[in-house]
Chain A
């Protein structure tokens, strides 16, 4: 089997496992999600156990895998390296949290729930894709404009007689 085919097969199997995990864990029941996000109401702490189970496995696995120089089927690891906290991260997380509370869905469980054909799920997923695309375009545009302004400022300073 070629390397590329192995990559796709492993990705597919990982996606299947992830999807079954989400469904077994209760994340595909927005009522349970909303129950978890309601600590002052009738709190359902179950979803804390989803996170605990996932982290318990992945925390150990990450440490074992990180000892390797490279993954099995790719030349290198693609892991985030940033450590700074910025307003984009926190504002984005806050917006995501509000949407999570309103809809009871985060991205993974929404995709897993597509099979139900429920109108709310379809509406959520389409809106999520639109929100992602529009934000990506806006972000690129604003970054471009900020860079252009910076260049103008730098050139202005260089040409200044002082």
Chain B
């Protein structure tokens, strides 16, 4: 199990909030990762390159952190089969529900959006239910 790390969580969170604010101020866009990906998979003319640049930044940041501090990463708690199921659910769910942790949980809540509040409560609730159930079934 992991330890409680409120300070690094707060600092990392502030950086995420700052990034979303920079994107809003400069481009007027929401920093929602699932939406960014969706716009790359189903591109609209003139609305592609900034998304590709942001996603490139995400991946390159990951490579830099991986080189400097590999302990910042952990593997998925379950096997590849579970990872495939999880990925399909996350892809489908974020497309259907118009957003993920960043778009709804950070940007939407900051704008006091009712839709984002409902979505955030729903995905945290569903996630907690799922983890609890898997633990009780011995797959946790």
Contacts and interface: CB of A to CB of B under 8 A. Distances in A.
* B partners with A: yes
A46 B1 CA distance: 13
B88 A128 contact: yes
B106 A23 contact: no
B127 A50 contact: no
Interface of B: 1-31, 33-34, 37-38, 41-42, 49-51, 53-66, 69-70, 72-80, 82-98, 100-102, 104-111, 113-115, 118-120, 122-132, 134-135, 140
Q: Would you call the interface of chain B mostly helix, strand, loop, or mixed?
A: helix
Contact of A101 (B17, B42, B131): B131
Interface string A76-96: 111110111100111111111
A127 B84 contact: yes
Given A38-B140, A77-B24, A101-B126, 8 more contacts: A30-B76, A41-B131, A98-B89, A111-B62, A131-B88, A131-B95, A132-B38, A136-B95
Contacts, number: 508
Contacts of B123: 93-94, 96-97, 100
A24 to B, nearest CB: 4
Interface string A34-69: 110111111011111111111111110110010010
Interface in A117-135: 118-121, 123-135
Nearest to A102: B86
Contacts of B130: 37, 97-98, 100-102
A51 to B, nearest CB: 6
A39 B128 contact: yes
Contacts of B63: 115
Nearest to A19: B61
Contact of B13 (A21, A111, A112): A21
